[in-house]
Amino acid sequence: MASLPPSPFDRDRRNRRTMMAAATVGLGMLALGFASVPLYRIFCEQTGFGGTTQRAEAATQVKVATGHSMSIRFDSNIAPGMPWQFHPERPTQTVTVGAKTMAIFIAKNMSDRPVTGTAAFNVTPLQAGAYFTKIQCFCFTQQTLQPGQEVRMPVLYYVDPKILDDPDNRDTQQITLSYTFYPVEPDKKAS
């Protein structure tokens, strides 16, 4: 007995099903593309991946690890096109692990116009990011400096005592906190 060719109705139904499956997969991939940046940011903040530091509230209580100190080195950079001078007040600090400490960075607008900047940051060694916690930082918001204006910008931070129990950080003697200031482009719609 010879088989009959599929009817046009069956073929149309299969084509619609295939098209719906392809559209669903495409929309799912698009949604994943939009969600990937916030999900990656959350992952980095939670794990310290890539040298991402942690954040805490000022009221956070931390047990100081008396007798355990660490050197914190500060690195400052300016992106091309950023007309600022930017540097730490002191290039290094020796801190007690768990103790809240403040560092000061100085920025000066060298141009004849107001300039807004934003700071990107990380720490090295990268695995120490999970234990370097900022309470207050100029990097949390954009900074606008008027022509010739110089400002002192504080960073309030601590190194979490849990770093002492981490086998990957057991021998860490120094953490480098690095900032790079980038210009914020003015909103072109406001022009």
Average pLDDT of the residues in 148-170: 91
Task: Give the per-residue pLDDT at 43.
Answer: 46
Per-residue pLDDT, 9: 72
Are 94 and 71 spatial neighbours (Cβ–Cβ below 8 Å)?
yes
Beta strands across the sheet bearing 84-88:
54-55, 132-137, 150-159, 101-109, 84-88
Predicted local confidence at residue 74, as pLDDT: 94
pLDDT single digits (tens) 124-134? 898 888 888 89
User: What are 71-107's pLDDT values in tens digits?
Assistant: 999 999 999 989 999 999 999 999 999 999 999 999 9
Q: In terms of residues, how long is the chain?
A: 191
Over 50: is that where the pLDDT of 2 sits?
yes
Query: Cα angle at 134 between 133 and 136, to 5 degrees?
Result: 160
Q: Give per-residue pLDDT as tens, 105-114.
A: 999 999 999 9
State residue 30's pLDDT score. Answer: 67
Query: What does the pLDDT average to over 12-27?
Result: 79
Mean pLDDT of 171-181: 91
Query: For a pLDDT cut of 90, what percent of the chain falls above it?
Result: 42
DSSP-H helix ranges across the chain: 8-47
